[in-house]
Amino acid sequence: DLHSFPTRRSSDLEISGSFAGNKGRLPMPITGAYQVVRSFGSNIVEGLGNVRLSSKGLHLKGQPGAKARCVFDGVVSKIYSTGNSYIVMVRHGKYISVYCDLAAVSVAAGQKVTTNQTLGSLGSSNTMQFQLRNWTELLDPRPWLRR
């Protein structure tokens, strides 16, 4: 019916509740040992005094061969190619996890994915950015991830 509006399905509410219920317990979105090279929010650039960069996510540097992995069960909603890298977006009800700067992708749009499933591999710099959103609102990923 052309006049009906899309409704949020009960399955979306269930997944959203389950995702929110796991705050602080989600796995790191990168395999192997890693370091946080830039945090979410405003960051001071080392050596440049008062220069601040705003970060929409967590920038992680992994080991050679590191992979991006899914933090929670969901569906790959979109894959973007930025020319020399890929961005994978996974929907978990109203929450969306975003995996940026991937050199290769091992999933497809519309595919169901599970916690810890490999989404793709990192490039030669072994770095990636991980974003978390509640619909369009950017969230600081740190409180959501297991330490």
**1 pLDDT higher than 50:** no
Residue 100 CB partners (closer than 8 Å, separation 6+): 57, 85, 87, 128, 129, 130, 131
Neighbours of 62 (CB within 10 A): 21
Question: CA 132, CA 97: separation in Å to the nearest integer?
Answer: 5
Question: Could you tell me what percent of the chain has a pLDDT over 70?
Answer: 86
% of the chain exceeding 90 in pLDDT: 68
Structure tokens at 16: 């959203």
Is pLDDT larger for residue 8 or for residue 147? 147
Task: Determine the pLDDT at residue 3.
Answer: 44
Assess whether pLDDT exceeds 50 at residue 87. yes
Confidence of residue 89 (pLDDT cuts 50, 70, 90): very high
The pTM score is: 0.85
Chain segment 114-136, per-residue pLDDT in tens:
999 999 999 999 999 999 999 88
Over the stretch 10-25, which tens digit does the pLDDT of each residue have? 667 777 779 999 999 9
